[in-house]
Structure 1
Amino acid sequence: MYPEIMVIPMREELVRAGIVETKTADDVDAAIAQSGTTMVVVNSICGCAAGKMRPGVRLALANATTQPDQKITVFAGQDREATDRARGYFEGHPPTSPSVAIMRDGKLVYMMPRFVIEQATAQQIAGELIRAFDEHCAKATA
C-alpha cells in the first residue's frame, strides 16, 4: 500500500467528477444494491490510470447525455476490502486495475478491463464509455 498522501490527488480527481468514493465492502454493496445502473471505477496509481482512464472517465461524464444512475470508485492497492468486493461482482473477469464496469440492478452488463485501457487514448476511452452509457444506462420509454 502506498502512503495515503500520495494517492489523495488520484482519489480527488474522480470525486471532483462526481464519483462517490467507496472504501468498505458495505459501501460497495449499498451502492450496487440500488436499482438502476452503477458505474464502478477501479482506480489505480499506475500510469495508464493517470494518463488514460481517469481523464477518459472525466471526459465521458462531461460529454455524455446518458449517464449511470450511480457512480462509485474503489482504489486498488489502498482500499482492499472495497476493491475485492467490487471485483466480486465482475463475474467472469479477472481482477484488473484500472478498470471500469457498469452494473444494472446488481448484475454486470459492461466491463472495460486494463488491457483495453492500456491500448486506448483518453478520448477513445471517453467515446467507448459514452457508447456504453447509451447502450446500458438509457431509461426505458413508455
Structure 2
Amino acid sequence: MNLGKLLKAEVQRVAKREINAAVKPLRDLTKRQRNEIADLKRTIRELGTKARSDRAKAKRAVITSEDKQRRFSPTRLGILREKKGLSLVELAKLVDISGPTLTRWLAGESRPKPEQLQRIAWIRAQGKRELRRELDGLKG
C-alpha cells in the first residue's frame, strides 16, 4: 500500500516535470508577446500624441501665415478688375465663384470668404499675362 502511494507520487512528480518542461517555452513565448504588445500600445499612444501635437502646430502655423488680416473693399475690387483688364465673368472664374456673387461683392451686399480673399490676393500679385494664361488653362 505504501509502495502504491510512493509509485503514484513518483509518477505525478515525473509527469509534472515533463509537463512543465513542455509548457515553459509556451509560457516564455506568451510573456514575450505580452511585453511586445504593451510596447506596441505604448508606441501607438506616443505616436498619437505626437501626431495630435504636430497637427495642432501645423494648424497654428497655417493660421498665422494665412490669417494675415485681409481687408476687403468693393471699390478696390472694381479697381483691381479694371487694372488687370478682366471682365466680370473672367474675374469670377479666377476667384472660382459665380457672376452674380461677384456682382453682390462689388455692390457691397456680401463679402468673400477667407479662401476667396486669398484667391483675390493671388490675383492682385499676378500680372495680366499670367492671369490670361490661367484663364486659358481654366477654359481648356
TM-score in same-fold range (> 0.5): no
Relative contact order (alpha carbons < 8 A, sep ≥ 6): 1 or 2 greater?
1
**Smaller-chain TM-score bracket:** under 0.3
More helix by share: 2
Give the structure-1-normalised TM-score. 0.28
More strand by share: 1
